[in-house]
Chains A and B, each alone.
Chain A
């Protein structure tokens, strides 16, 4: 497998602002990150400084101040979110935790008190295991070669670095439908898994071992009841593991939420040949 050449210092600096503002798509952000890690330390420092300067630049922002009460509301909402996760992880969280008696009146969500680091570690570990568990589940089903590849070669951080942080919003989201696309030809090495978030109208496609093409060459399309396929996404390939997010699925027009799993999802090449299909 080959990867694109790392970017030059000039290219990195040109894209640094866009990367820092989150304006690059998953593929380009992954390329930028790879090149960043290949760059000399001095260039990395230059990029970090430039991005921080842009991120903290208030000259382009409206001259408004938040109400003082917003601070309390933010802290309360975060505390509620933490408490919800605590409740879900109750069996883990009670290990080694001192129980205190409640008088029943203490209804305000509370932050964790002193010495919570082991619990954070447990939570982080749970997150990592969730990724690994996801892939293991697929591997057991024997359907998903990407899962095996990822499991063998990448931990969750590396996976995120390779195909972008957006993937976490799909792996950890219970509302996301997962669709495995299989090669049409038996000798093909192409692999793909599609994550569809119908509620948000977005999808994330993970591909592997596609022939390298640095222009949008491949297309993801969907069809229902043998109707004419609708194009959802065009994408390129580094020849290795890639991830692409699309925010433009029109479920109301082309496909309803309930049809996602039963629809036919296909990936075609530039000539329109079907390379992979969900059914």
Chain B
């Protein structure tokens, strides 16, 4: 158990400014990158990051280092909040089209946002297109668009177990390929 992380989150729960600042310094950039990946504009991403850190303060007393390392907890809270926001804004589905050609990303987000977003996610989108079809679709819908696995299962009329396996394997492949690219 990481005693230091546990203490940090207790200090965050207590509203200690230094602790919140330390939490931001450790994870702010990471949370921001996920926000930029999921949300259509920089302004939305920045606003969402602020909300995520409020949520982290609200939930800090629930952090259990025996159940998750701090980075896992922070990113879990962050992703959940971002996906909730994505759903509230009704962005997913109608406004984000990751499937197929990476250039087709964000077809309804306005002409000025298409190149930015395609550029941001270009590496990921290129790698996704190399995956087998089912893995590609499941990753696009669950990982990038925030659909639950059950929803994806219903959309594709495929067993939930198949969807889970496809996502798990697809993510593992993506990470392997990304690491290999970074090592070059």
Task: Please provide the chain B residues from 5 to 31 with a CB less than 8 Å away from any CB of chain A in the complex.
Answer: 10, 13-17, 20-21, 24-25, 28-30
Does B44 sit at the interface, judged by CB under 8 A?
A: no
* Contact residue among B25, B46, B62, B71 (Cβ-Cβ distance under 8 Å from A165): B62
Does B49 sit at the interface, judged by CB under 8 A?
A: yes
Q: How far is the CB of B46 from chain A (nearest CB, A)?
A: 6
Q: Closest residue to A37 on the B side, CB-wise?
A: B67
Q: Closest residue to B75 on the A side, CB-wise?
A: A55
A79 to B16, CA, bound (A): 9
Interface of B is mostly: helix
Task: Please provide the chain B residues from 63 to 118 with a CB less than 8 Å away from any CB of chain A in the complex.
Answer: 66-69, 71-72, 74-76, 79-80, 83-84, 87-88
Q: How far is the CB of B182 from chain A (nearest CB, A)?
A: 6
Does A134 sit at the interface, judged by CB under 8 A?
A: no
The answer to whether A22 and B71 touch across the interface, beta carbons within 8 angstroms, is no
The answer to whether B36 and A120 touch across the interface, beta carbons within 8 angstroms, is no
Interface of A is mostly: helix
Does A82 sit at the interface, judged by CB under 8 A?
A: yes
Q: A18-B168, A22-B83, A67-B46 are in contact. Are A51 and B72 (CB under 8 A)?
A: yes
* Contact residue among A22, A81, A200 (Cβ-Cβ distance under 8 Å from B57): A81
The answer to whether B72 and A81 touch across the interface, beta carbons within 8 angstroms, is no
Question: Considering only CB atoms and an 8 Å cut-off, how many residues of chain B contact the other chain?
Answer: 66
Complex interface bits, B132-165 against A, C-beta within 8 A gives 1, otherwise 0: 0000000000110000111100000000000011
Complex interface bits, A35-75 against B, C-beta within 8 A gives 1, otherwise 0: 01000000010001101101111111111111100110111
A65 to B68, CA, bound (A): 26
Does A178 sit at the interface, judged by CB under 8 A?
A: no
Q: How far is the CB of B66 from chain A (nearest CB, A)?
A: 8
Q: Closest residue to B80 on the A side, CB-wise?
A: A22
The answer to whether A23 and B167 touch across the interface, beta carbons within 8 angstroms, is yes
Does A116 sit at the interface, judged by CB under 8 A?
A: yes
Does A160 sit at the interface, judged by CB under 8 A?
A: yes
Q: Closest residue to A169 on the B side, CB-wise?
A: B84
Q: Which residues of A contact B84 (CB under 8 A)?
A: 200
Q: Which residues of B contact A48 (CB under 8 A)?
A: 68-69, 72
Q: How far is the CB of B136 from chain A (nearest CB, A)?
A: 14
The answer to whether A111 and B49 touch across the interface, beta carbons within 8 angstroms, is no
The answer to whether A70 and B32 touch across the interface, beta carbons within 8 angstroms, is yes
Task: Please provide the chain A residues from 111 to 134 with a CB less than 8 Å away from any CB of chain B in the complex.
Answer: 111-112, 116-117, 119-120, 123-124, 127
B residues apposed to A, CB below 8 Å: 10, 13-17, 20-21, 24-25, 28-30, 32-34, 36-37, 46, 49-51, 53-54, 57-59, 61-62, 66-69, 71-72, 74-76, 79-80, 83-84, 87-88, 120-121, 123-124, 142-143, 148-151, 164-165, 167-168, 171-172, 174-175, 178-179, 181-182
Q: For the A-B complex with A81-B57, A81-B58, A116-B16 known, give 16 more contacts whose Cβ atoms are closer than 8 Å.
A: A17-B168, A17-B172, A23-B149, A28-B149, A48-B68, A62-B124, A64-B32, A73-B50, A74-B20, A74-B49, A77-B50, A81-B54, A82-B57, A112-B17, A117-B10, A120-B15
A residues apposed to B, CB below 8 Å: 14-15, 17-18, 20-25, 28, 33, 36, 44, 48-49, 51-52, 54-67, 70-71, 73-75, 77-79, 81-82, 110-112, 116-117, 119-120, 123-124, 127, 157, 160, 165, 200-202, 247-248
- Can you name 24 A-B residue pairings with CB atoms under 8 Å? A18-B149, A20-B68, A20-B76, A22-B83, A23-B143, A23-B149, A25-B149, A44-B66, A51-B72, A52-B69, A52-B71, A60-B174, A62-B124, A63-B123, A64-B120, A70-B28, A71-B21, A73-B46, A75-B21, A77-B54, A112-B17, A117-B10, A120-B61, A124-B61
